[in-house]
Amino acid sequence: MLIVACIKQVPDTTQVQIDPVTNTLIRDGIPFIVNPYDTHALEEALRLKDRFGCRVAAISMGPPNAEATLKKALALGVDHAILLSDRVFGGADTLATSNVLSAAIRKLHSDVDEVGLVLCGKQTIDGDTAQVGPGIASRLGYQQLTLVDRIVDMNFSGKIIRVSRKLEGRHEIVEAPLPAMLTVVRELNRPRYPKVPMRLAAADATVEVWNNQVLKLDEQKIGLKGSPTWVSKIFSPDRAVGEILGDGNSDPEGTAEMLIEKLLAKDMLPI
């Protein structure tokens, strides 16, 4: 049985800025990280490997430098690391991204082993759409279990999974047949750190690169040509400039009174 973790390389959002003229992300010189939710997807795949001895493949669609993301996955212990990279994959929206990722999963299923589980993050921190996981599930005809915060029970031989889903103000326990696609939230686990020998081994390990000569997908269904969604504008909302009351030291009661007066004047305090 093979578990596939989908991991995306994203710009570190603590450092991202938007070009005010072009309204695009300024990517130059920005460090990239593995999408935080995907680190939890990867960790869960590795925990299932530790428990059941199944194999784990990590896949990522991105430019050649996304190899670094997959090297990190190798250092953590995945058995296969595959970068889906080709100029014709570029400019993809969620539909085209799901087409490429699901084609790669299909290929892993036929070339490597039967896929039992696909693990994705809940969403990315750059695109933020949360559409790719469900897009993969619908293309592959897999059950989709979103917002998973715990795998309650996993029975590979009986091909059943039971998970807890974190919803607003409640949890839901859901059972589904395998194969299934899970999108996961941060509460699922605490990702491990790579051990030094594994890091050294990963530095020499090979990340397989699959381009469209390997996947043989119709160019009308991938990349920019296969993307019906266009992001027409990205912008940071204007923030009102803050006001500092008092000097922060000498008269806390007086400062609190000033604050109450201001809030009352703006009708922002219940009387």
Ligand X SMILES: Cc1cc2nc3c(=O)[nH]c(=O)nc-3n(C[C@H](O)[C@H](O)[C@H](O)COP(=O)(O)OP(=O)(O)OC[C@H]3O[C@@H](n4cnc5c(N)ncnc54)[C@H](O)[C@@H]3O)c2cc1C
- Judged by CB under 6 A, the residue of 7, 48, 148, 202 near ligand X is 7
Q: Is 124 in the site for ligand X (CB under 6 A)?
A: yes
From residue 115, alpha-carbon distances to 11, 44, 71, 121, 140 in Å are 30, 15, 22, 18, 11
Of positions 30, 63, 112, 127, contacts ligand X by CB under 6 A: 127
Extract the tokens encoding 61. Answer: 């669609």
> Does the footprint of ligand X cover residue 97 (CB under 6 A)?
yes
Site for ligand X in 19-38 (CB under 6 A): 35, 37-38
- 3-state per-residue secondary structure call for 176-207: EECCEEEEECHHHCCCCCCCHHHHHHHHHCCC
Residues numbered 51 to 90 that lie near ligand X (CB under 6 A) are: 60-62
Cβ-contact 179, 115 below 8 angstroms: yes
Interface with ligand X (CB under 6 A), residue total 30
Is residue 91 within 8 Å of residue 58, measured between CB atoms?
no
Task: Specify the stretch interacting with ligand X by CB under 6 A; choose among 46-54, 118-126, 143-151, 211-219.
Answer: 118-126
Figure out which of the listed residues 128, 204, 238, 267 binds ligand X, where binding follows CB under 6 A. Answer: 128
List the structure tokens of 191.
């990702």
Query: What is the C-alpha to C-alpha distance for residues 105 and 72, in angstroms, rounded to an integer?
Result: 20
Q: Is 93 in the site for ligand X (CB under 6 A)?
A: yes
Instruction: Closer to ligand X by CB, 101 or 151: give it.
Output: 101
Q: Which of 54, 56, 70, 120 binds ligand X (CB under 6 A)?
A: 120
Task: State the amino acid at position 271 in one-letter form.
Answer: I
Q: Which class for 15: exposed (0-12), middle (13-18), buried (19 or more C-beta within 10 A)?
A: exposed
Where does this chain bind ligand X (CB under 6 A)? 6-8, 35, 37-38, 41, 60-62, 92-94, 97, 101, 120-121, 123-124, 126-133, 229, 231, 234
